[in-house]
Structure 1
Amino acid sequence: MMNKKDYFVVGFNRNISTSSSKGDENLAGSSQWSEIKHDEAIKTEEKATGRAKKARLDLKKHWKRFWCCYLVATVIFLAIFLPVFFLVAIPAIGQRIVDDTDLPIYGAEILDPKPDTISFALHTSLKVPGGLRIHTDPLDLSLFDKDSGPTEPYLSVSLPAYNLKGTTDMIVTQNNTKILNKSKFIDTLISAVYNKRFTLSAKGSTVGHLGKLKAPLTLHKNVELEGLDKLRGFSIESAKLLISKDDDGDNFVGTAILPNHSVFTFALGNVTLNLKSGDLVLGQAMIQNVLLRPGDNKVSLKGLLDIGFVLENIENIMDYQKEALSNGEIELSASGNSTIYNGVHIEYYEKVLNNLTLTTRVSILAVLGDTLQGLLNDSNSSIGDALRNFTGKIGNSSLLK
C-alpha cells in the first residue's frame, strides 16, 4: 500500500523492482530509491551553480554598462557626506572632548583691590585624550553666578592661545580687571566666605584647530571649590592690655590666626574689627596689610578697648561671660568694621566682612600673664617699675633662703 507522503516523491510510481521475493523487492526498492535521491541532489546543485555563474556574469555586464553611474553616485555621496562630517561630526566630537574635560582650579588670587577693578590670577589646566594635539585661539572666559545665568558675568578674563597635549597647565594673570557686575561679584564673595563649598562658574568660546581642521568650541564649567567656611578655626593666640596707651593710642595688642580653607588668596589691606562681648562693642582692633593666603595666617592686631564702657557694663558682660568664666576663659568676638586698601574703602569687602562675626575664647591666665609680662618690659610705666621692684625683692628673698 502506497504511503501518502511517498505519493509526492518524483519517480516513486516507477516500476523499478525486478526481484521475485517480497524481501528482495523491499531491499532493491530501497537501494534504487537512494540512487534517485542522489541524482536529484546533484541536479539541484548543478542548477544552483549555474544560477550563481549566471548571476556573476549578469553583475559583470551590469557593472560594465553602468559603472559611470555608480562613480557619479559615489562622488555625489562623498560631496554630501564629507562636508557634513567636517562641519557637524568633527565639531561635535571636539565639543564632547571639552564637555568631558574637568577644569580643576589649583589656585586663584584677588589682589590690588580697587573700587571698580582687581588684579585676578587663575591657575587651572585642560586635559585632552592621549595622541591628540589641539591648538586653541585666545579665549575670553566669563565668570558668572550660575543661579543668575552666564548672561550676567561679573568678571571677564582673557586666556592666550594654547597648544593642548595631554594635561596642559593654564596660568593667567590680568591686572586692572574690571568688575562688570558688582552685586554679582559680592554674591560670589559671600558664597565663598560663608560656605564650606561654593561654585565657580565659567564660560567662553574659542576655535580649536586639529591640524588643518578647525571647530568652534564652548567651554562651560561649574567648578565646586572649598570655601572659607566663615574662617572656621579663628583664634586669638595671645592678647594683653597696656596700662598706658602706646604712640598710636592703642591699649590692646595681640596675635590672631585667620584660617583660609580655600585655594584663593585675598589681598584685603587694613582691616578694622569691632571687638565685642555679645552685642556690646567693647572697642576696636586693626590688622594691617592683610594678605589672606590658603592655610592658617598668623597676623598681629592692636587696638583700643574702651575701659570706661567695660566698667559701666561689667554686670552685663559678666552675665554673658558666665559660662566662659567658669572654664577660666574670656569669650571675644570680632566683626568687620572697615576695609581700606591704599587709603580707599573697598566697598565689596566691607559688605562681606561687616556681616561676619568671628568668635573665640582666650584663657584668662594667658591674658593676665601676657599683660604682666608687658608691664615688666615697659620701661616707661610706673606700674612696671613697681612690679619689677616687687619681683626683684621676691627673687632676692628666695635667694637668701
Structure 2
Amino acid sequence: MIGLVIFLAIFLPVLLTSMKSFLVIIPAIIQRLMNEASLPINGGTLALHSPDELKVSIKTTVAMPAGIVASLDPITLQLYNSNTTAFSPFMAVDLPKQHLDGPTDIDAPESIVRISNKTELTSWLRYVVRDPTVDLSLRGDSHINLGAIRSAVHLEKTTPVRALNHLRGFGVPSIRLVVPPEPDGANVRGQLLFPNHTPLHLGLGNLTFNMWSGPVRLGTVDVHDVLAAPGDNLFDFRGVLLLRDLLPNLGAILASQASALGRGSIVLGVSGNSTVVNGRHVAFFEEVLNGERFETELSVVSVAMQVLGGLIDPAASNGTSALLDTVSAVLGNKTLIDGIVDKLNASRVVDRLNSTADPVAIPGNLLKRVQRELTRTALKSVVRELRGGRSKPLWSPTR
C-alpha cells in the first residue's frame, strides 16, 4: 500500500503535467493547421440588392490534412480590404457549422448582408473592376471540436480572387437602328458582350451606359437584369443614339477615330451612367462604374451594315424609304445619305463574296484589299460631301 502511494506521488504530477501539455499542444496544432490551410474562392454570388445591402454566397475549400476529422462551430467572417492599414470590414458573412474531414468543401449559403463600410467596399470594388486579380481578406473567431477536445481558433486569411480585369474581351457584337424610334425615344438596339472573369455570379441590376467616340458622347444604352455568370455573357440592350449631335461633332469624331480608321475599324467607348436595383440607385457602385471607360474596336463595314442595315436590305423596301427619310432629315443631306448607301451596297457585295465565294477563285487577301478600298472610298466621299468641295481635308489619318 505504501508502495502504491509512493508510485502515485511520483507519477501523478508527471501525468498531470503531460496532460496539461497535451491540452496546450493540441489547440496550438489545430490553430497552426488553420493558419496554413488555404481558402480558395471556388464560386458563389455577389449581387447588388439595395443601396445598403448585398446578396452574397461563397463556395470555398478548407484544405485540412487527410485524416483530420473535426467540426467547426458557426463563424461570422468579417470581409475587409487588406490594402487599408486599419481593420475596417465592409460586410460580414455567416458560415454555418461545418464537418471537416481532410480537404472539405464549404458553402456559405446565399444571404442578404448589410454593408458596414461603403467607403471600403467602394475601394475594394475598384480593384475588382480594374485588376486581373484582387485580394479578399477575411477574419473571424470560432471553436474547433477534435473529439473531446474543444479549441478556440482565430481565422485570418487573404486569398487572391480572379477579378474583372477591366472587362478584357468586352464587345458589341450587334447594333442596329430602330426606325421609327420606339415610343420612349429608343432608336438603337443590339447586344453587349460582358466577360466575367471572376468565379462569382455577379448581379448588377439595371445598368445604363454612355457611348463615346473619343470625347463625343454618342448616346446611352440600357441593359436590364444583369446577372453575369462566370465566362462570357450576352445581354440585349436598347437605347438612344443622339443622331442630331453627330454632324456638328463629326470633326471631333473623325479625329478621335483617325488611327482606328486606318485599320478599317472604329473604337467605341462605354462608361457607366447609372445603376438601379429594385427602382433605387446604388450610389456606391455608380461611383465605381461611372469612373471607368471600356473600349472595343469594331469593323467599319460590319457596323455600317448593322446600323444602316435597313437601308440596304432589299427585302425591306418599305423600311428602306422610312429609314432613309428619317436619317436624311436628321442629318439634313439626302444626297450624302444616298452616296453612303451606294458605297454600303458595294461593301455588301464584298461581304457576300467573303461568305460564299470559292477561296481558290477569289483569294482572301484580295477580298480584304477590295473591302478596305471600298471603305476608304466611302469615307472620302462622305468627307468630300461634308466639305462641300473644299480641298483641305477635315482630318489626316495616322500612318
> For the structure 1 residues 380 and 157, does the alpha-carbon distance in structure 2 shift closer, same or farther, using more than 3 Å as the test?
farther
For 2:185 and 2:317, the matched residues in 1 are separated by: 17
For 1:141 and 1:200, the matched residues in 2 are separated by: 12
Find the residue that maps to 1:148 and give its secondary structure: coil
Q: Deviations over 1:364-395 (max 9, x none)?
A: 211222234335476864615989xx99xxxx
Asked if residue 93 in structure 1 is aligned to residue 29 in structure 2, the reply is: yes
Residue type of the alignment partner of 1:73: I
2:15 corresponding residue in structure 1:
78
Question: Which one of the candidate residues 158, 161, 169 is aligned to 1:233?
Answer: 169
> For the structure 1 residues 380 and 286, does the alpha-carbon distance in structure 2 shift closer, same or farther, using more than 3 Å as the test?
farther
For 1:378 and 1:342, the matched residues in 2 are separated by: 39
For 1:146 and 1:178, the matched residues in 2 are separated by: 20
2:73 corresponding residue in structure 1:
137
Q: TM-score, normalised to structure 1's length?
A: 0.75
Assess if the C-alpha contact under 8 Å between 2:66 and 2:103 holds in 1: no
Find the residue that maps to 1:153 and give its secondary structure: coil
For 1:68 and 1:149, the matched residues in 2 are separated by: 60
Question: Which one of the candidate residues 235, 238, 246 is aligned to 2:182?
Answer: 246
Q: Deviations over 1:70-102 (max 9, x none)?
A: 54132122223312321x211101111111211
> For the structure 1 residues 385 and 239, does the alpha-carbon distance in structure 2 shift closer, same or farther, using more than 3 Å as the test?
closer
1:151 corresponding residue in structure 2:
87
Find the residue that maps to 1:85 and give its secondary structure: helix
1:205 corresponding residue in structure 2:
141
CA deviation after TM superposition for structure 1 residue 151, in Å: 3.4
1:383 corresponding residue in structure 2:
321
2:215 corresponding residue in structure 1:
279
CA deviation after TM superposition for structure 1 residue 345, in Å: 0.4
For 2:149 and 2:210, the matched residues in 1 are separated by: 61
Residue type of the alignment partner of 1:100: E
> For the structure 1 residues 65 and 371, does the alpha-carbon distance in structure 2 shift closer, same or farther, using more than 3 Å as the test?
closer
Assess if the C-alpha contact under 8 Å between 2:180 and 2:323 holds in 1: no
Aligned length: 325
Find the residue that maps to 1:312 and give its secondary structure: coil
Q: Deviations over 1:234-261 (max 9, x none)?
A: 1111222344312331222221211111
Assess if the C-alpha contact under 8 Å between 1:258 and 1:297 holds in 2: yes
Assess if the C-alpha contact under 8 Å between 2:31 and 2:154 holds in 1: yes
For 1:385 and 1:90, the matched residues in 2 are separated by: 79
Assess if the C-alpha contact under 8 Å between 2:72 and 2:100 holds in 1: yes
Question: Which one of the candidate residues 288, 294, 303 is aligned to 2:239?
Answer: 303
Find the residue that maps to 2:11 and give its secondary structure: helix
1:124 corresponding residue in structure 2:
60
For 2:136 and 2:250, the matched residues in 1 are separated by: 46
Rg bigger for which structure?
1
Question: Which one of the candidate residues 239, 249, 253 is aligned to 1:317?
Answer: 253
CA deviation after TM superposition for structure 1 residue 165, in Å: 0.7
Find the residue that maps to 2:291 and give its secondary structure: coil
Pairs within 5 Å for 1:250-269: 250-269=186-205
2:39 corresponding residue in structure 1:
103
For 1:331 and 1:151, the matched residues in 2 are separated by: 42
Assess if the C-alpha contact under 8 Å between 1:119 and 1:173 holds in 2: no
1:193 corresponding residue in structure 2:
129
For 2:242 and 2:308, the matched residues in 1 are separated by: 19
For 1:187 and 1:206, the matched residues in 2 are separated by: 28
1:216 corresponding residue in structure 2:
152
CA deviation after TM superposition for structure 1 residue 208, in Å: 0.8
2:379 corresponding residue in structure 1:
none
2:333 corresponding residue in structure 1:
none
Q: Deviations over 1:7-53 (max 9, x none)?
A: xxxxxxxxxxxxxxxxxxxxxxxxxxxxxxxxxxxxxxxxxxxxxxx
CA deviation after TM superposition for structure 1 residue 68, in Å: 5.0
For 2:323 and 2:209, the matched residues in 1 are separated by: 33
Asked if residue 335 in structure 1 is aligned to residue 271 in structure 2, the reply is: yes
For 1:116 and 1:175, the matched residues in 2 are separated by: 14
User: Where does the alignment leave 5 or more consecutive residues of structure 2 unmatched?
Assistant: 326-340, 343-399
Assess if the C-alpha contact under 8 Å between 1:136 and 1:162 holds in 2: yes
Find the residue that maps to 1:202 and give its secondary structure: strand
Asked if residue 365 in structure 1 is aligned to residue 313 in structure 2, the reply is: no
Q: Deviations over 1:175-210 (max 9, x none)?
A: 221111111111111111110111011111111111
CA deviation after TM superposition for structure 1 residue 326, in Å: 2.0
Assess if the C-alpha contact under 8 Å between 2:43 and 2:200 holds in 1: yes
For 1:65 and 1:246, the matched residues in 2 are separated by: 105
Assess if the C-alpha contact under 8 Å between 1:157 and 1:174 holds in 2: no
> For the structure 1 residues 386 and 340, does the alpha-carbon distance in structure 2 shift closer, same or farther, using more than 3 Å as the test?
closer
Find the residue that maps to 2:309 and give its secondary structure: helix
For 1:150 and 1:217, the matched residues in 2 are separated by: 22
